[in-house]
Amino acid sequence: MDDDEFLYVADRNKHHVRRYRMGSSQGTMVAGGNGKGNRLDQLNCPRYVCVDRNHSVYLSDDSNHCVMKWMKDVKQGIVVAGGQGEGSTRTQLSYPYDIAVDQSGAVYVTDCSNHRIMRWIQGVTQGTAIIGGNGKGSQSNQLHCPIGLSFDLYVSDNGNHRVQKFSIYRS
């Protein structure tokens, strides 16, 4: 849900994302809608969606192994992570699931089949594995098909001589 209380729904079978006003059954197409495929105006099994303050829609395009950004009122998206086919290099993803975008525009992706969390800084074509990427496993430096992301905020409260942890809930 965005700040204006619109709900965004990724339809994996119809290969599009729709936006709904709360209480309405009529949605507006905001990404995809041109059938299954790998063109910039198509999707192939969109999975997770997040929306920034400018109403740009970010989505993990599962079977195209990328993350796309669709700005408000456009007819095609741009690839912001992956997009070089399925694989494990720094320019590739393998079944991306959950995504998050920070205020600087950096994109964080659960790269399920590569067992890692990737970060793409805005405008950069190569990502960085920030967690995992050391094969499937249960060691502290390994993951086994990560599918979700959540972030916390730590505040250094100087006057109270403490550090506090707050959960960040995203749309």
Query: Closest by alpha carbon to 91, among 113, 67, 57?
Result: 67
pLDDT at residue 167, rounded to an integer = 63
Residues in the chain, pLDDT under 50? 171
Cα separation, 79 vs 36, whole angstroms: 16
The per-residue b/e assignment along 60-78, b for 16 or more CB within 10 angstroms, e otherwise, is bbbbbbbbbbbeeeeeebe
The H-or-E segment that residue 116 falls in is strand 116-120
Which CATH homologous superfamily contains domain 6-168?
Answer: TolB, C-terminal domain (2.120.10.30)
Q: At 59, is the secondary structure helix, strand, or coil?
A: strand
| pLDDT for position 127 | 98
How much is the pLDDT for 171?
43
**Would the pTM count as exceeding 0.85?**
yes
- Whether 9 contacts 22, CB under 8 Å: no
Q: Which residues contact 10 (CB under 8 A, 6 or more apart)?
A: 16, 17, 46, 47, 48, 49, 59
Q: What are the beta bridge partners of residue 100?
A: 108
Cβ atoms 30, 24 nearer than 8 A: no
